[in-house]
Amino acid sequence: MGKKSIHRKVLILVIVFFGEILISLSDKAITMNTEKASSELAVSRKLDNQVSSYQSVRKAEGEINSFMEKWDITGASVAVMKENRLIYAKGFGSASRSSFEQVEPKHLFRVASVSKLITSVAVMKLVEEGKLSLETKVFGSDGILDNPKFLDIKDERVQNITIYHLLTHSAGWSKASGDPVFMPYTIKEQMNVDLPVDLETTIQYTLKHKTLDFDPGSQSSYSNFGYSVLGKVIEKITGLGYENYVITRILNPLNIYDMHLGTTSQQIKFPNEVNYYTNSPFKKVYSALRENKIVLRQYGGNNFEVLGPAGAWVASPAELLKFLAHIDGNPQKSDILDQQTIKKMVHSESGLHPIGWLRASEQGDWVRTGTLTGTAALLKKDSNGFSWVMLLNTSNKMRHDFTDNMDSVMTDFVNRVDHWPEYDLFNYSAPSPLFAY
């Protein structure tokens, strides 16, 4: 073979090699730019605190400021909706204690168990589409999750667990015997694996080593693990990753573009996500990700990859209210679920928990709360026609009981405003700087 032929082949290989690199980089750039462009479309990104700084709310905002001072809250974000119109969205305090960055409507917060409402809507959508049934069995050779890894089952009653049982916290697992999503060291030892423990291993451990505390469907006992399992069900049915399915098939069609699964680490978070703090005396724990490493409880105490569908979403109040506007049965905005499905979700059957919601009254008061170290979240649809969200980046030792205090201050805040605007901030467009005056 001549030298010219060799040189030509080498040149072609070099061109192909670098061409593939360029194409790869180009694809990544396109993906990144698309993601950025999508998040910029979020209603929360178009708003700032000035938009909701009108005269009629200023005195009422004293309720929120006093609440934050009383409980030493670093930062909070609040949004209010009336008849499916976003009428208020504002941040209070700091997104970070070190930078003193002001909280704005664009900031993302961990929403903890409010994530269960998102997961339940995704499941119920699949039920409506006929891809799933509430009576479908989950485990065993006849279940959806018939993966050989999940067939080593200690308690035969597990094979009676249905989708409905997982949605209503009635599958049979009790908090009294420990929630597997918060037991990484036990699972590590029993399953002879290294940290971090993933969700598949957590499911394997639970099926192989734990017995049910009650017969499926006989009562409810709050279970994060059950909702984490629902994430695996969604993946099996759709062939998509849990987060991918929820974002592309549930959130984006509702023009919700800046809600995501959060991360455990402080170093890997979204640019517009707040930092998290706790006023509890129990601030440090052993890491759920690395053995024998002591970490701040809010940054490593829980494995968000395992918690995922049960408690790992981050969001802004404005986009959470947009989500609520499409699942609340009100006629002003079209719902993503049928009326019958929405009623099914808020109907408490035989003393069981409602689907996705924490509480739902016949009068129309629907509540979903969430707490983790470093955050507290409240989403409420009130029977008076108002709905609201309050998210905090600071937790305290009261944990779940603290959300009742949040509900009280938000009720007082809404009731103290004697005049709310008629516009809808969901349709707000920020003025162009070129024409600002």
Give the model confidence (pLDDT) of 134-189 as tens digits.
999 999 999 999 999 999 999 999 999 999 999 999 999 998 889 999 999 999 99
Given a contact cutoff of 8 angstroms between Cβ atoms, the answer to whether 277 and 393 are in contact is: yes
Alpha helical stretches, state H, 215-283? 224-238, 242-245
pLDDT at 236: 98
Q: pLDDT grade, residue 24 (50/70/90)?
A: very low
For the cut 60, the answer to whether the pLDDT of residue 432 exceeds it is no
Cα 293 from Cα 194, distance rounded (Å): 13
pLDDT at 14: 40
Cα 95 from Cα 99, distance rounded (Å): 8
Helix (H, G, I), strand (E, B) or coil at 138: coil
Cα 1 from Cα 220, distance rounded (Å): 78
Given a contact cutoff of 8 angstroms between Cβ atoms, the answer to whether 228 and 202 are in contact is: yes
Output the CA–CA distances (angstroms, integers) from residue 100 to 94, 95, 96, 390, in the order listed.
5, 7, 5, 20
Q: What number is the average pLDDT over the span 225-235?
A: 98
Longest Cα–Cα distance of the chain, Å, equals 90
For 63-105, the pLDDT digits (tens) are 999 999 999 999 999 999 999 999 999 999 999 999 989 999 9
Cα 206 from Cα 36, distance rounded (Å): 39
For the cut 50, the answer to whether the pLDDT of residue 247 exceeds it is yes
Cα 42 from Cα 418, distance rounded (Å): 29
Average pLDDT, the chain: 90
Given a contact cutoff of 8 angstroms between Cβ atoms, the answer to whether 336 and 324 are in contact is: no
pLDDT greater at residue 360 or residue 1: 360
Residue 275's Cβ-count burial label (10 Å; 0-12, 13-18, 19+) is buried
**With the CA atoms of 301, 306, 312 and 313 taken in that order, what torsion angle do they form, in degrees rounded to the nearest 10?**
160
180: preceding bond cis by omega (within 30 degrees): no
The fraction of the chain above a pLDDT of 70, given in percent, is 89
Alpha helical stretches, state H, 347-401? none
268, amino acid identity: I
Given a contact cutoff of 8 angstroms between Cβ atoms, the answer to whether 393 and 109 are in contact is: yes
> How far from chain centre, in Å, is Cα 160?
28
For the cut 90, the answer to whether the pLDDT of residue 36 exceeds it is no
pLDDT at 291: 93
pLDDT at 431: 64
Tokens of 329: 């049965």
Helix (H, G, I), strand (E, B) or coil at 64: helix
Cα 91 from Cα 66, distance rounded (Å): 14
Residue written as token pair 């993906």: 31
> How far from chain centre, in Å, is Cα 25?
31
Element (H, E) at 268: none
Cα 101 from Cα 107, distance rounded (Å): 10
128: Cβ contacts below 8 Å, ≥ 6 apart: 337, 338, 341
For the cut 80, the answer to whether the pLDDT of residue 31 exceeds it is no
Q: What number is the average pLDDT over the span 407-434?
A: 87
